[in-house]
Amino acid sequence: MDIIYIEEAILDHPRTQVILERFPKAEKLLIEKHAEVFNPNSQNFRIQKNNPSLILAAKENKKVLSTPMQYETGGGANYYFSHMLNCLYDCRYCFLQGMYRSANYLLFVNYEEFWEDIQLVAKTHANDEKPAWFFSGYDCDSLAFEPVSQFARYIVPKFKGIPNAVLELRTKSTQIRSLLEMDVVSNVVVAYSLSPEPVVAAVEEGAPTLAKRLDALVKLQNKGWRLGIRFDPIIWHQDYQKNYREMLAQVFTALDVNAIDSVTIGGFRLPKGFYKIMRKLHPEHWLFSAGLSESEGMIAYTQEIETQMFEFMLDQTRQYVAEEKVYAYPSYPLPTTPE
């Protein structure tokens, strides 16, 4: 890390100091508000990915928000929170490229205030039939920055105190030391996004290989953590059936399928505005040119392609996993199977 920007107001925060000690050679620059560095329009996400800076800041205003549609895995109310914006990885399909101008890592160090807000929201669902679900990893990878942020080490044990809530840590990371060193918390799910190895190599730059993610999953399962498996997004390409079939066999052979909490399948879809920005950033990339169409302001695979892929994935996944644990999030309604 060459440059760290620090909001003046949190310079003396103990967490800021611990993080700064990890980067003795970084140039530290004081700023008034993170928006001055993070928000300006003329920044180029792709260029910044070459050498992102770290911004340490305090998150103000609302810290817990309702999830967008199709972001649920069997819970009741669904919320997300982002203690960090942007990711260490550079997945070509990631919507963050379209959402933010800056690729700098923006870490909010006021974890205590996130926790206060989570508790307040959870309280409003105390009498709900199903637990309220809190997703981490919407605007960042939940664990990739863990050696620096120590966020999971802070937040995960807290959930023991709110049994009517579930925390889902969504990740591709192998940074699981925090989780392996602490006691298992029964209302915390570690959810891994998985893709076939050739897809990882083609579009998930910097992310651990499928084999490494599987290794982390096995360790977490052996420790007793609840696991979620996310095939999201599934990527259309010439050998997709072969590649996804092989991946499913790999995943469900390595893991105890009965102990998996849920499996979700999601398509490649983006708001049109994000898509246009991402295509402009990577005009040469096949991902933004293959099999896509627009429907109601969203860009996704054409109905024919997506339906074919979902039917294939559902059929294959159900060969390993009980149907009630499998959730599909297609952009178009799937045809119903005749009785």
Partner 1 sequence: MQSSSQLGGIPHECPRAHLNIVVALSCEAKPLVDRLKLRKVNGESYPRFVGAYEGVPVDLVVSGIGSVAIAAAIGWLAAKTEADSTAWLNVGVAGHAEHEIGTIIRVVCSEVEGSQRRHYPPLVAKWRGLNSASLSSSLPNVDYPGGMAVDMEANTFFTVANGFSASECIQSLKVISDNPSSSIEELNASVISKLIAPHVDQILVFAANVIKLLPNKSPSMHLPEPATTMRRTVSQGLQLQEVCRRLGAINADKELVDKRLVGLDSISQVIEALDKLARSHAPSLITQASELNRDV
Helix and strand numbers, DSSP H then E, in the chain:
13, 18
In angstroms, what is the minimal distance from the CB of 51 to partner 1? Answer: 5
Cα(11)–Cα(15) distance, rounded to whole angstroms? 9
Whose Cβ is closer to partner 1: residue 164's or residue 241's? 241
Whose Cβ is closer to partner 1: residue 312's or residue 327's? 312
In angstroms, what is the minimal distance from the CB of 92 to partner 1? Answer: 11
Whose Cβ is closer to partner 1: residue 108's or residue 240's? 240
In angstroms, what is the minimal distance from the CB of 27 to partner 1? Answer: 6
Whose Cβ is closer to partner 1: residue 37's or residue 88's? 37
H-helix or E-strand spanning residue 177: helix 177-181
In angstroms, what is the minimal distance from the CB of 228 to partner 1? Answer: 26
In angstroms, what is the minimal distance from the CB of 104 to partner 1? Answer: 8
In angstroms, what is the minimal distance from the CB of 293 to partner 1? Answer: 7
Cis before 233? omega within 30: yes
Any idea what DSSP says for residue 327? E
Whether 153 and 133 have beta carbons less than 8 Å apart is answered as no
Whose Cβ is closer to partner 1: residue 20's or residue 257's? 20
In angstroms, what is the minimal distance from the CB of 302 to partner 1? Answer: 6
Residue 165 in 3-state DSSP? strand
Q: In what order do the strands lie in the sheet with 326-329?
A: 64-66, 78-81, 132-136, 165-171, 188-193, 226-234, 260-267, 326-329
Whose Cβ is closer to partner 1: residue 20's or residue 182's? 20
Whose Cβ is closer to partner 1: residue 120's or residue 201's? 201
Residue 293 in 3-state DSSP? strand
Whose Cβ is closer to partner 1: residue 76's or residue 291's? 291
In angstroms, what is the minimal distance from the CB of 77 to partner 1? Answer: 38
Q: Which residues contact 127 (CB under 8 A, 6 or more apart)?
A: none
H-helix or E-strand spanning residue 218: helix 210-223
Tokens representing 208? 């651990």
Positions that interact with partner 1 (CB under 8 A): 2-3, 5, 27, 29, 31-32, 36-37, 40, 42-44, 46-48, 50-51, 53, 102, 104, 198-199, 201-202, 236-240, 281, 283-293, 302
Whether 269 and 298 have beta carbons less than 8 Å apart is answered as yes
Whether 79 and 66 have beta carbons less than 8 Å apart is answered as yes
Torsion of Cα atoms, 98 then 114 then 135 then 212, to 10°:
80
Whether 179 and 190 have beta carbons less than 8 Å apart is answered as yes
What are the two backbone dihedrals, phi and then psi, of residue 233, each rounded to the nearest 5 degrees? -90, 150
